[in-house]
Amino acid sequence: MKEHVPLIYFHGIVQGKYEAVWPVYIVGDDLVHLTFKVAADELESIQYKIENETTFVSDVENDIRRRYVTTQVRQRIHQHIFRERVLDAYCNQCSFCRLRHPELLDAAHIIGDKEPEGEPVVSNGLSLCKIHHAAFDEMLVGIRPEDYTIEVREDIRKEEDGPMLVHGLQKLHNTEIILPRIIRNRPDQNLLDIKFRRFKQAI
């Protein structure tokens, strides 16, 4: 802490997976409770060079920057935790089509994270492939909250546009999504109801 030595922080995401954050610095300690504070930062915020002279950033400026960068890192970690936990709950497959390529999967929010109900918890998430994530967000498909059944918007069902539309969307109509084995990880039916009512209004 006194020497501003940069460290790497490994934050546990799910069992066996970690998010590495660097550089981080120890910026405070509590000798009574044996705890310490970690801040994400950049080396340039500790010192930087101007015309070959080393100048130290003021404590106030340093503190403001650290708070900002630490907040950004915290958000990134939360997003990563949300993704990993949602995909893990769904056994790394799309809950609509069973695609099992993690690089093509997203953790989709049922209610967006900018809304009060949009918490980054597994029960507000769905593991969806890229196309089904976009279709869900754009209200091309909805999920009936009472039985987890997919509804495809009527105009999409009537459209003729080749095999991708047929197999990718139209055939999903009246099929059930794949659910996590652990009940508490299943989509929150109250959140699904909010989203489904919006879907119905978009029809």
Say which residue the tokens 């997976």 belong to. 17
The alpha-carbon radius of gyration of the chain (Å, integer) is 23
**CA-based nearest residue to 69, from 91, 40, 48, 43:** 40
pLDDT digits 0-9 by tens, 167-188: 999 999 999 999 999 999 999 9
Mean pLDDT, residues 39-53: 48
Find out whether 166 and 99 touch, Cβ atoms under 8 Å: no
* pLDDT on residue 142: 98
More confident residue, 36 or 139: 139
Q: What are the residues whose beta carbons fall under 8 Å from the beta carbon of 12, sequence distance 6 or more?
A: 18
Confidence of residue 58 (pLDDT cuts 50, 70, 90): low
Q: What pLDDT is recorded for position 78? A: 77
CB proximity list for 53: less than 8 A, separation 6 or greater: none
pTM given for the model: 0.71
Q: What are phi and psi of 180, to 5 degrees?
A: -60, 150
Instruction: Of 12-21, 31-40, 168-177, give the lowest mean pLDDT range.
Output: 12-21
Position 59 scores a pLDDT of 60
